[in-house]
Amino acid sequence: MQKFTPSRHPITSTPANTQRGLVFSTILLLIVIVGMVLLALYLVKLDRTITHKFEGKRWDIPAKVYSQPLELYQGANVDNDTIKKWLELLNYQSNKSYERTGSFHKSGSTYYIHTRGFTYSANDIDPEQVIKLSISGGEIKSIQSTQQSKTGIIRLEPVSIGGIYPDNNEDRMVVSLDDVPQPLIDALISTEDRGFYEHKGVSIRGIGRAVVNNFTGGSRQGGSTITQQLIKNFYLNSDRTLKRKANEALMAVLLELHYSKDEILQAYLNEIYLGQNGKRSINGFGLASQFYFNKPLNELRVDQQALLVGMAKGPSVYNPRRHPEAAKDRRNTVLNNMLVLGKISQEDYDAAIKKPLGVVDKAKEGKNLFPDFLDMVKRELNNVYYADDLKNEGLTIISTLNPVTQLAADNAVEKKLGELRRRGSKTKDLQAALVSANPETGELVAVVGSGSEFTGFNRAVDAKRQVGSLLKPVIYMTALESGRYNLASSVDDSPITVELSDGKTWTPKNYDQRDHGFVPLSTALAKSYNQAAVRMGMEFGVDTFVRQLRRLGVKEEIPSYPSVLLGSVNLSPMDMLGVYQVFATGGFRTPIHSIRTVIDNQGRILQRTGLNTKRSIPPETNFLVNYALQGVVKDGTAKRIQSLGSNLNLAGKTGTTNDYRDAWFAGYSGNYVSVVWVGRDDNKSIGLSGGSGALPVWEDYMRRLKLTPVSMPAPEGIEWLWLENNSGKLSNERCPNARYLPVLANYLPREASSCALDIYQQDRAREQMAWQQEQNRINRQRQQEGLEIPNSAVIDENNGSERQADTWYERALEWF
């Protein structure tokens, strides 16, 4: 066998092998190139995703609704109780040193208040300041501040009353980095990402440490930087997949290429999830501070800031309300991290870990403090703005709500409704509505329209019920305006039967089931006589009555049948508030509104409600109606509210509907016009009249407020005269049935009472006799002095011609 000997020459590649190698290399190169292109395209896509959201609209920010601010100035009608309640609603803390915002100190009747400040718009910003004010006799006697005020008015910031939230159920309060305390930033970086200011989005050391700990059985750690956490929360989800982690790392690097560390940190502080408030999530440290402590971030202690930072690891696990011990341990871990990095001293650390958590039991943030009023604001906003804009654009709405007045309304309704419900079976299911406004501005200040839980049915505006005698002043307003009647004119309260269009008849009765015959017009209104009102209303016509309601601002459909004269028309408390607002302001109608200003998230004013006041009825007519409504309080069905103070000159009208189904009272002081309705949702009889059902609620509410008198000066078209009561004729103060009353100057009475005529004739006779005696005295004097005595005939003739120049009526009217 021949032995095989290897050749010393290398085996050379065949052309086929070379070709295969080139093909493989080319394919590999193409794969790499395609992969790089695809990776580049993918990175471009990720980059666009990052920049589009980060530079655009980052979050759907809810609209926040606030009350009006409390205006403080020398002479303002602000008492100690008002200041106390306002500070409580703002969660100000009593502190003798008052060195921090949100703190105050009271010494005797003097307050030192360190305000938080408030941004009303880009050009209207109240800085934080310390206010010193002294209160005496229910008003501010002196006031000083560390900030100069050009107007002399210092505003205590408005109270948050609720929000309008986005559909994704995320809630947040966006804060700038400048508003975040440095200790909170130190705590966050010490705990979550110590190399935040050194890495470029991804920390290799952090990833390695996490891998080692996870494989060696140490405490499980994530290697994510703050930037990666922001990417996960802002752009991605929490899936534990390699693809998601890879995307997270790539996007973190890209994010850091585009934006500064401060921009990234600020976004993280506002994005981080820190708990749940019912259906809504708590996002960002600004909102979390309010949710857990009812304070802004800059008023938190270091240990409280550390608690919030600790919750970032797991808001459910470290929820301080549910798991206080776990939350405290986590807080102390964060504090220890700060100590290790030298961000706090050992002394501060020792003091901080001994502090209680300090979390409030129930958060005010996210709760609609006054849901009925907030509902009114939403309804008004919906007339102007799209729903998505209200939910997502971060609007700030300054409402007209006065929180102290609203609390008075809530407490009055709760107290008096409770008393009425205990009366019997008819009243156990009683409900009520109360609306109150500033008559001069039309600003709504308080609303009660639902039960203990708001269900969406707001009786203040949704309960369309018959209003009964609340409309009677409109009937008498027509009569007075016509000039046929004055306040003392006689009206007939005898039985009346009205024939209806279908051939049937209607015979109204008085509530006391009695006939009162001829009574003065003012008495008929004060005592709320039905028969007199119907007779008067039919004299001028139902169509005239409807037109008058339109003048007063009623927009609802009004039936044209006669029973509408007694209030058989379905109107809401808000409708009636508008009517009585006109009476309270001398005849001017200013639309009732619940919003002062709407501001966008850039501080620009989108809406400012100005005074849209129009003359509704003549001032002289309104003056007479106001006088008549004051008579209802002085001598009529609302006499009980005289207890609030006879000097207040209160005016108003009770209302009761058929079978005692609805009880109403509408009335006003100088600074509040308010309407109360009491009834049952099923429209069954409650057995209460306006005076026994609604009036006690109104009285209790108004008693809780600081009222000013009704002061309505008589306009030019008014004359004051003595009139005979129940005839309206001219009279004299010496007559037994005379009243000194305002009368329209264009329609003065042309007749005088027999008593006044007798007195007038006697007075004229005495005047004539006195004149004659004086002339005789003068003549005797001239005769004694030897002077010529003028021709008496000439004197008599001149005197007679002077008297003939005046009519008897003109001379008598001046005398009367």
Residue 447, pLDDT score:
97
Residue 814, pLDDT score:
66
Q: Answer yes or no: are the C-beta atoms of 753 and 727 closer than 8 Å.
A: yes
The token pair at 526 is: 């004060």
> Is 365's pLDDT higher than 80?
no
Residue 119, pLDDT score:
94
- 60: confidence class by pLDDT, cuts 50, 70, 90: confident
- 25: confidence class by pLDDT, cuts 50, 70, 90: confident
Residue 242, pLDDT score:
76
> Is 545's pLDDT higher than 50?
yes
Q: Answer yes or no: are the C-beta atoms of 731 and 753 closer than 8 Å.
A: yes
Predicted confidence (pLDDT) per residue in 461-480, tens digit: 999 999 999 999 999 999 99
Residue 781, pLDDT score:
83
**Cα–Cα separations (whole angstroms), residue 328 to 286, 297, 309, 317:** 20, 19, 12, 11
Residue 20, pLDDT score:
75
Mean pLDDT computed over 697-708: 96
Residue 268, judged by CB atoms within 10 A of its CB (0-12, 13-18, 19+), counts as buried
> Is 681's pLDDT higher than 80?
yes
- 801: confidence class by pLDDT, cuts 50, 70, 90: very low
pLDDT higher at 215 or 344: 344
How many residues belong to the chain?
Answer: 816
SS3 340: helix
Mean pLDDT computed over 361-376: 83
- 211: confidence class by pLDDT, cuts 50, 70, 90: low
- 807: confidence class by pLDDT, cuts 50, 70, 90: low
Residue 54, pLDDT score:
78
The identity of residue 155, as a single letter, is R
> Is 218's pLDDT higher than 80?
no
Predicted confidence (pLDDT) per residue in 264-276, tens digit: 999 999 999 999 9
Mean pLDDT computed over 696-705: 97
d(C-alpha 331, C-alpha 307), whole Å: 5
Which residues are marked as active site?
192, 469
- Report percent pLDDT > 70 for the chain: 91
> Is 206's pLDDT higher than 70?
no
> Is 121's pLDDT higher than 70?
yes
Q: How many CB atoms lie within 10 A of CB 678?
A: 29
**Sequence-separated contacts (24+) of 534-538 with Cβ below 8 Å:** 534/496, 534/498, 534/508, 534/562, 534/565, 534/566, 535/491, 535/492, 535/493, 535/496, 536/475, 536/476, 536/479, 536/491, 537/475, 537/478, 537/562, 537/565, 538/496, 538/498, 538/562, 538/565
Mean pLDDT computed over 372-401: 90
- Where helices occur in 217-313 by DSSP H, the ranges are 226-234, 242-258, 261-271, 285-293, 302-311
The identity of residue 540, as a single letter, is F
pLDDT higher at 712 or 44: 712
The token pair at 491 is: 């009206």
Closest CA to 337 of 310, 300, 370: 310
- Mean of all residue pLDDT scores within the chain: 89
**Cα–Cα separations (whole angstroms), residue 131 to 148, 167, 199:** 11, 41, 46
d(C-alpha 132, C-alpha 110), whole Å: 7
d(C-alpha 658, C-alpha 654), whole Å: 14
463: phi then psi, degrees, rounded to nearest 5: -80, 100
Residue 453, pLDDT score:
66
Window from 47-61, 77-91, 177-191, 675-689 with minimum mean pLDDT: 47-61
d(C-alpha 526, C-alpha 653), whole Å: 8
d(C-alpha 41, C-alpha 806), whole Å: 105
- 221: confidence class by pLDDT, cuts 50, 70, 90: very low
Window from 381-385, 407-411, 462-466, 587-591 with minimum mean pLDDT: 381-385
Sign of the Cα pseudo-torsion (39, 45, 46, 48, in order): positive
Residue 438, pLDDT score:
97
> Is 138's pLDDT higher than 70?
yes
Window from 38-47, 401-410, 509-518, 693-702 with minimum mean pLDDT: 38-47
> Is 522's pLDDT higher than 60?
yes
d(C-alpha 726, C-alpha 738), whole Å: 9
Euclidean distance between the first and the last CA atom of the chain, given in angstroms as a whole number? 165
Residue 803, pLDDT score:
43
Residue 13, pLDDT score:
52
pLDDT higher at 385 or 571: 571
- 406: confidence class by pLDDT, cuts 50, 70, 90: very high
> Is 234's pLDDT higher than 90?
no
Residue 219, pLDDT score:
43
Predicted confidence (pLDDT) per residue in 475-504, tens digit: 999 999 999 999 999 999 999 999 998 889
Window from 234-238, 347-351, 676-680, 810-814 with minimum mean pLDDT: 810-814
Pick from 207-216, 365-374, 797-806 the range whose average pLDDT is largest. Answer: 365-374
Q: Fill in the DSSP letter of residue 169.
A: -
> Is 594's pLDDT higher than 90?
yes
- 764: confidence class by pLDDT, cuts 50, 70, 90: confident
d(C-alpha 625, C-alpha 755), whole Å: 28
Q: Fill in the DSSP letter of residue 747.
A: G
Residue 24, pLDDT score:
80
> Is 2's pLDDT higher than 70?
no
The residue with tokens 């969660």 is: 91
pLDDT higher at 171 or 401: 401
Q: Answer yes or no: are the C-beta atoms of 469 and 628 closer than 8 Å.
A: no
- 809: confidence class by pLDDT, cuts 50, 70, 90: low
pTM: 0.86
- 14: confidence class by pLDDT, cuts 50, 70, 90: low
Q: Fill in the DSSP letter of residue 518.
A: E
